[in-house]
Structure 1
Amino acid sequence: MNFFLKISRPFMQNLMNILLDQLLKLRNRHFLIFDIVVFLMTPLLALLLLFNGHLVLEQHIPDLVKDTILFLIVKLSVFWSFGFYKRYWRYASIEEVTYIVMLVTATVVIETVLFNIIQYIPYVGIDTLPQTLPYIDGLLSCIFIGGLRFSVRVVERTYQGHTLFNLRERVLIVGAGSAGVSLVQEMQTNPQLGFYPVAFIDDNPEKLNAHIRGIPVVGDRHQIPDVVKSLQIQKVIIAMPTVAGRVIREIVDICKVTGIHTSTLPGIHEILNGRVRLDSIRDVRIEDLLRREPVQTEIERVSGFLKGKKVLITGAGGSIGSELCRQIFQCCPAEMMLVGHGENSVFNIQQELEQLVQSIKNDGKAQEHIPRLSEFIADIRCYERLKHAFAKFQPDVIFHAAAHKHVPLMELNPPEAITNNVIGTKNLLELAQQYDVKNFVMISTDKAVNPTNVMGASKRVAEMLVLKAARDSGKPYVAVRFGNVLGSRGSVVPTFKKQIAAGGPVTVTHPDIRRYFMTIPEAVQLVLQATVVAHGGEVLMLNMGEPVKIVDLAKELIHLSGYEVNKDIEIVFTGLRPGEKLFEELFITGEEYELTEHEKLLLVKNASRIIPNNLDISVEALLKAAVRNDVNTILFLLEQLVPGYTAKYLQNKVVESAAKNITIVAQQNVKILAKVEPSSV
């Protein structure tokens, strides 16, 4: 007997595989033949049901033949007219169920009308048949044709599930909300992707023991270790894109105990189109652990503002600039000009956006919603090159994200901070006014608040230039301040990751140093929101939440990398760097803050009224000092321009020469003004 089973089992398995394979090869021409057979049988079956299984009397046969031919013609005509035989049934879903029911209902209505009409036609009538025959016939037709077609889908899933079962990872989904359910649906629909959803974890007690798409909710987050062990889980996926980082941290800590690999969906800010997909799953990042409660941005209002406009983005290849490009693209502007100095970074974001363009075309969406893209390699310090871009593009809106932002490097290279952050901004503002640009948004930093370094002071001067341009032109030109952005260039996160990859140590300047952090997508969404909140001549400040200790950030990154702090990877404190603060500040003395209509945006309502009277003269002097690489004069001028800033390397002996330099520049400006407007001097 065992010998027989041993021989027959492979044979039966091969036979089953052949039958399944043949069923999966069924096409619409095969379904048409099957439908004709069904339509020829269902009137007889319906009559048998109505007669409780008794034999159909000889007197009913002529009318039954007439009825069968009539019903066959009606069904095939309706099904063919509505493209029923052009459907691809391997991916049948609830939409196809509805479609079948609607078509069968239509045939029943037509058949009933014709059935009643023909009864009164002499020599043709089918008065020996029951009036309910069309309804029973329609019900049977729906069951048979729908059953066969959906059996293809069921067989395919069963077949794939059987053949791939041993290759699929047993997955525990944390979060039984819409995101988690979407993931399970995709896993079930595409088993070849290698995921086998076993159970849900959810903290909502109302969902406990419920079954969602056949998957049970087995407990809350605290039961993860027991569930992993009892259900032999191989992978945990956190499907909670809207929760705060605190919750993610707790779940990750619990999962560490199990030793099972943990992945997550990105935060809702990173899912631009709101669609959750399996390819969105990634390893847990520091951004997930520090993300805050999601902010409800008025996407429709921002999209309405940018739709159909020409938008120019400077620093388009940078971390902030490239994310601006992605999110602005979703708002359907007419054109986007990507301006940047680094050709490789501009090329990368251009390629990414081109792929989006291609995917939109492939989806058959309206072509008018696809922004036209152009790239422009330029240094914003080069006025004539920028002028060519403005003349060619004629922008409506400018997002200015180009800047030098490395604090220690700018402390060692003040001329670069001035030429890029100050003069570059000045060039853009002059051209924006010359070419009648309607909106200008500059990305600023919290380091511009009571700055202790050259970078922060240079950004504060750039803010002043924006505010002055807004005051002079009456246009909605604004600056938006926010703190450190996780994952951006210059952030501590990439540095820590490299140090961990090298085996350590991880260097932190001071055990008490704290910084405000945001994720890139969240920061950019709030920048876009600022465009529709501000009226012009203002500084907007993003609500950064609570500051984070850098040493805690380092510890989290070490843990995420699979190491233990001071056992596998050591943390070393190196001391504060030049120009570095222990705590970043958010408020400048004399600025008046008020809430906006958006909870995460603060407005400095009197920002344009605290601009120095000699701003233009001082900026001109800064430019000349930068061209001469005169560091001491730069530091002195910044100290005079920016309240609260003290230049640490200022030498007293150059103060007098710097003052003379300002006088010379002032005299030159007076002479120029005298030639243009002698009556006003």
Structure 2
Amino acid sequence: MKLSEIFKPTKLRRIIFFITCDIFVSILATICAFFLRFNGDIPNEFYKGLLLGCVVLAALKIIFLWTFKIYTVPWRFFGLYEAKKIFYVHLIVMAIFAVIFAIFSDIFQPFPRSVIIIDAALSYILISGVRISKRLFFDNAKITSSNEPCVVIGATKKALHVLKGMKEGYINYYAVGVFDDRKSMVGTSCENFVVQPKSKLANLIKSDEVKTAIIALKLEQDELKKLYDELIGYGIKDVKIFSLIGDEESKIRDISIEDLLARKPKDLDDSAVKEFLHDKVILVTGAGGTIGSEICKQCLKFGAKCLIMVDHSEFNLYKIDQETNSDDRNILKMVNIVDLAEIEEVFGELKPEVVIHAAAYKHVPLCELNPHMAVKNNIIGTKNIVDMSKKYGVKKVVIISTDKAVRPTNIMGTTKRICEIYALNSSQIGKTEIVAVRFGNVLGSSGSVIPKFKSQIKANHALSVTHPDIVRYFMLVSEACQLVLQAASIAKGGELFVLDMGEQVKIVDLAKKMLQLANKAELGIEFVGLRPGEKLYEEVLIDENDKKTEFESIFVTSSSSYDLEKLNLQIKEILNSQGDEVALKLKEIVPEFNHALNKKEN
């Protein structure tokens, strides 16, 4: 801890108070030890030893209490861990004083040795007692009537933290019961509550008008969703989650749609990603986007030697630099990937070893309205990255793709399929290993449905859903990005990896759940019709014969070979096309492209 933090006014006052108390308590303990030893009548010849004992023992205790950082602990955080440390302090002080006494026995004599043990026992009780006194006061204080009643779900260590926070006033609820369906927990005591099964919740909620539940359990996504639905069924309106991460004031948070949707892969392997990224010079395109920014954070986390952040947006580049605390390894390059000269300058100057290409236009309706720009940014941008990677000897290139590239129905998905074709066929020539990784939607990405729904709820608008049957895959961005890097770590070049995104989610159900979470079901849902290029469902795996990898969430699918010379000529033709010709030329390369020209219903 920095000295400036220790000597803040509040902390300084607390430290001075505790040191003063401990000196007084230590001296009192030594005096009491002598009185106990001599039954209240201390012989005159022992007063010299008493005085020396008070000074030496008090000094040793203060030194070791400081060494064990007892003086940095506020009243309300004093617990068993700190009590154990104070106990160890007294054992050490006893041992050191015994050594001092043995060496300087002539100075201390006469001095009864039993006093050392008696002093340690009394001192431990008194020093700990001073600190626990305020805790005892708060633990028995009445909860203010302004706080709302709640139930705590889970008889766990987290539950103890929740109940403690309520008693100490930084969690503004008061508990009326603790519930847990585990047989080993039912009937046991959690603080002042007897743990009850969840079946008893319904009656309690009705009688006490409880509307809030705080979950103090660690649950998988499917378990959390089941518990949430169960609590709502009992009549709970507000479900919260307790987390031990962050400041104490922010430990209680509302359950979010991300909590209920996030499919957490069980095969995330930090060691594989670290081995792939550690001590490498890494270039990330689209570094300020949703995927690119998370890739950048993970590259730094797993020990990249240097991180070249490439983005065309000044604000996005600034933002990701700030989010990574302007790490010394960051090199910011405001470059348009479509400009070959600019890209070549970056590659020639910085010589990246690994390239992760996340830059792309991804918004389906906008790409439909601007097909020429979608082709230019997605296809030409990818072509430039792949060509420069090969020219400058990059060891591995990772192309971020999408489920919309599978049997595409829109311009965006088709351009991404062509990116896959170009990249994977380029891997067959030269030493650069080029792979593509395909996955679905990530939770909370810019332009995705969840931020849109949140914005509509905030504005008290009905949630706009394109079609009652539309479904999508979802995964947490952090976990999707780690799986991308894991796939790259096992790649040999030329593979098309696909991520297992779990079950598809019906968007209308997602909208209903978000309205329920916000307690705004009255806003309702409005069906607005499929947008241009949009399809009802996305595909990730082309067929069930795709090969498994060593990671159960990562598969390898086949990608047909394509003549690169012919592909380059076709790309030039697309660039020279206008309007509807663009889609026709794209279909020449991707025959399965079935353009869905949906008209927005009025």
- State whether residues 277 and 303 of structure 2, in contact with CA within 8 Å, keep that contact through their aligned partners in structure 1: yes
Residues 187 and 416 (structure 1 numbering): CA distance in 2 closer, same or farther, change over 3 Å?
farther
The two structures have a TM-score, normalised by structure 2, of 0.84
Q: Residues 14-38 of structure 1, C-alpha deviation per residue, up to 9 Å, x if partnerless?
A: xxxxxxxxx9996555555555554
Cα deviation, residue 436, structure 1: 2.6
- State whether residues 514 and 549 of structure 1, in contact with CA within 8 Å, keep that contact through their aligned partners in structure 2: yes
| Secondary structure, counterpart of 1:562 in structure 2 | coil
Correspondence list, 1:485-564, <5 A: 485-498=442-455, 506-564=463-521
Aligned residues: 584
Q: C-alpha separation between the residues in 2 aligned to 1:217 and 1:531?
A: 51
Q: C-alpha separation between the residues in 1 aligned to 2:121 and 2:300?
A: 50
Number of the residue aligned with 2:47: 65
- 1:583 equivalent to 2:565? Answer no
Return the match for 1:210 from 179, 182, 188: 188
- State whether residues 212 and 236 of structure 2, in contact with CA within 8 Å, keep that contact through their aligned partners in structure 1: no
Q: C-alpha separation between the residues in 1 aligned to 2:223 and 2:212?
A: 21
Return the match for 1:602 from 535, 547, 555: 555
Q: Residues 163-189 of structure 1, C-alpha deviation per residue, up to 9 Å, x if partnerless?
A: x84554444333444555555566666
Residues 562 and 34 (structure 1 numbering): CA distance in 2 closer, same or farther, change over 3 Å?
closer
Return the match for 2:151 from 172, 177, 181: 172
Cα deviation, residue 598, structure 1: 1.3
Residues 261 and 32 (structure 1 numbering): CA distance in 2 closer, same or farther, change over 3 Å?
closer
Return the match for 1:299 from 264, 270, 275: 270
- State whether residues 264 and 476 of structure 2, in contact with CA within 8 Å, keep that contact through their aligned partners in structure 1: no
Q: C-alpha separation between the residues in 2 aligned to 1:31 and 1:114?
A: 26
Q: C-alpha separation between the residues in 2 aligned to 1:503 and 1:436?
A: 54
Q: C-alpha separation between the residues in 1 aligned to 2:223 and 2:24?
A: 62
Q: C-alpha separation between the residues in 1 aligned to 2:19 and 2:458?
A: 62
Return the match for 1:625 from 570, 574, 592: 574
Residues 179 and 622 (structure 1 numbering): CA distance in 2 closer, same or farther, change over 3 Å?
farther
Percent sequence identity over aligned pairs: 33
Relative to its length, the structure with more helix (as a share) is 1
- State whether residues 445 and 482 of structure 1, in contact with CA within 8 Å, keep that contact through their aligned partners in structure 2: yes
Q: Residues 53-88 of structure 1, C-alpha deviation per residue, up to 9 Å, x if partnerless?
A: x4437xx441x3243234234324433544639824
Q: Which fold has the larger relative contact order, with Cα–Cα distance below 8 Å and residues 6 or more apart in sequence?
A: 2
- State whether residues 418 and 623 of structure 1, in contact with CA within 8 Å, keep that contact through their aligned partners in structure 2: no
Structure 1 gap ranges (5+) = 1-22, 358-369, 650-681
Q: Residues 470-509 of structure 1, C-alpha deviation per residue, up to 9 Å, x if partnerless?
A: 3223334221111122322332334444555666554444
| Paired AA for residue 56 in structure 1 | D
- 1:311 equivalent to 2:285? Answer no
- CA RMSD, aligned part only? 3.7
Correspondence list, 1:55-454, <5 A: 55-56=40-41, 60-62=43-45, 64-82=46-64, 84=66, 87-91=71-75, 92-113=78-99, 125-126=109-110, 129=112, 131-151=113-133, 157=138, 165-177=144-156, 180=159, 191-192=169-170, 194-196=172-174, 199-212=177-190, 214=191, 216=193, 218-229=195-206, 233=210, 235-240=212-217, 242-245=219-222, 247-248=224-225, 250-252=227-229, 254-255=231-232, 258=235, 260-264=237-241, 278-279=249-250, 281-354=252-325, 371-454=328-411
| Paired AA for residue 310 in structure 1 | V
Residues 414 and 113 (structure 1 numbering): CA distance in 2 closer, same or farther, change over 3 Å?
closer
- State whether residues 437 and 497 of structure 2, in contact with CA within 8 Å, keep that contact through their aligned partners in structure 1: yes
Q: C-alpha separation between the residues in 2 aligned to 1:143 and 1:285?
A: 46
Q: C-alpha separation between the residues in 2 aligned to 1:443 and 1:179?
A: 39
Cα deviation, residue 285, structure 1: 2.9
- State whether residues 425 and 562 of structure 2, in contact with CA within 8 Å, keep that contact through their aligned partners in structure 1: no
- State whether residues 30 and 54 of structure 2, in contact with CA within 8 Å, keep that contact through their aligned partners in structure 1: no
| Secondary structure, counterpart of 1:473 in structure 2 | coil
Residues 173 and 524 (structure 1 numbering): CA distance in 2 closer, same or farther, change over 3 Å?
farther
Q: C-alpha separation between the residues in 1 aligned to 2:549 and 2:460?
A: 46
| Secondary structure, counterpart of 1:385 in structure 2 | helix
Residues 199 and 505 (structure 1 numbering): CA distance in 2 closer, same or farther, change over 3 Å?
closer
Residues 104 and 634 (structure 1 numbering): CA distance in 2 closer, same or farther, change over 3 Å?
same
- State whether residues 224 and 255 of structure 1, in contact with CA within 8 Å, keep that contact through their aligned partners in structure 2: no
- State whether residues 395 and 437 of structure 1, in contact with CA within 8 Å, keep that contact through their aligned partners in structure 2: yes
| Paired AA for residue 84 in structure 2 | T
Structure 2 gap ranges (5+) = 1-9, 598-602
The two structures have a TM-score, normalised by structure 1, of 0.75
- State whether residues 52 and 108 of structure 2, in contact with CA within 8 Å, keep that contact through their aligned partners in structure 1: no
Return the match for 1:46 from 13, 33, 38: 33
Pick the structure with greater CA Rg.
1
Q: Residues 338-371 of structure 1, C-alpha deviation per residue, up to 9 Å, x if partnerless?
A: 32223333333333322xx6xxxxxxxxxxxx55
| Secondary structure, counterpart of 2:343 in structure 1 | helix
Cα deviation, residue 463, structure 1: 1.1
